[in-house]
Structure 1
Amino acid sequence: MAFFSFAAYSAFCYWVIFLDGATVLEGWKSFFLFGWFAASLTAQELKFYVGISWIASLVFLLIATFGGA
């Protein structure tokens, strides 16, 4: 189930980073997905934030899959 969740999140991140998603979400709309701080972020800052969270979620997925105790 974690792989399907990660695949869906990856599709969202791809849309935000590489397609037109950051400009669509820029402004007050980003508040509903990312929190109160995101309402003041520009499109470039949203891309950076989503990219960092995408990498972090990949790390957590790999640790949960291969490094479990």
Structure 2
Amino acid sequence: MKQGFAPIKQLWESFAMTIGQHIVARTVNGQYTGKALGINEEGVLLLKTEDGIQKIYSADIEIKST
């Protein structure tokens, strides 16, 4: 992996159905609702909520219907 995580991140985001969608993320610490922004350089989901950007390491994800 001479190029690091960047090519994997780009490929993952090209297939991710959640990017740009309003989602519910259910974690062991609670439930978060917001807009999925993508993943960071560590592979962590970035979720824009009313309280700011949340880092979601592991969760059950549900796409909210609008």
Q: Fold-level match, TM-score > 0.5?
A: no
Structure whose residues are more often helix by fraction: 1
The two structures have a TM-score, normalised by structure 1, of 0.31
Structure whose residues are more often strand by fraction: 2
Which protein has greater RCO, CA pairs closer than 8 Å, 6+ apart? 1
The two structures have a TM-score, normalised by structure 2, of 0.31
